[in-house]
Structure 1
């Protein structure tokens, strides 16, 4: 009986170690092959500026307009994250991409942790999600 209890306890504890997030969505605009960034927001008062240190992952939008972020590199506590898309040309400087100075920058703010699965709406028009 004790062996079964220890086994069950180990399985439950190890499940926490295998936690993984999944954030996915679809872009309604024609944005095929554009880059989408997942960033952590350290200071909510500075939402308009994303520095290179804040970017956790980047991915490319597929031909159907879908993007997907998966992994287990987030903190287990709830934090503020942002998914950011801009229409800057690839020839633009990094400062234009990351400091929000592109004309058509779009982003979604959300609160999540390493265990969450979120599917975003197709509108993706500077919406703040709770």
Structure 2
């Protein structure tokens, strides 16, 4: 039985984790780059999603590419038919003007930054 207090145990457990979860897997290069204008798809799934309703349909700007991470919408399906388990998808930080989300009376001049996975987004010129 392994020694739970062994300080060398953690690196062995983490071996390959970065490559598995933080590297791009699947269909290739990221679809968006910093500076791209994107629209959030206006979807209302019956199950789990990390895409806030208040940004669905809104336009924003990609300000950072966070790399690929486990896509929670698929991971939450937990092996059900059609689920792709721990599939990684590109994650972006997208900035929205607060006025565009909440109207003219908004006082937040700095806007709002939200982390959104690539499947939530479409290029603004394709929206």
Q: Which has the higher strand share?
A: 1
* Structure ranking higher on relative contact order (CA contacts 8 Å, 6+ apart): 1
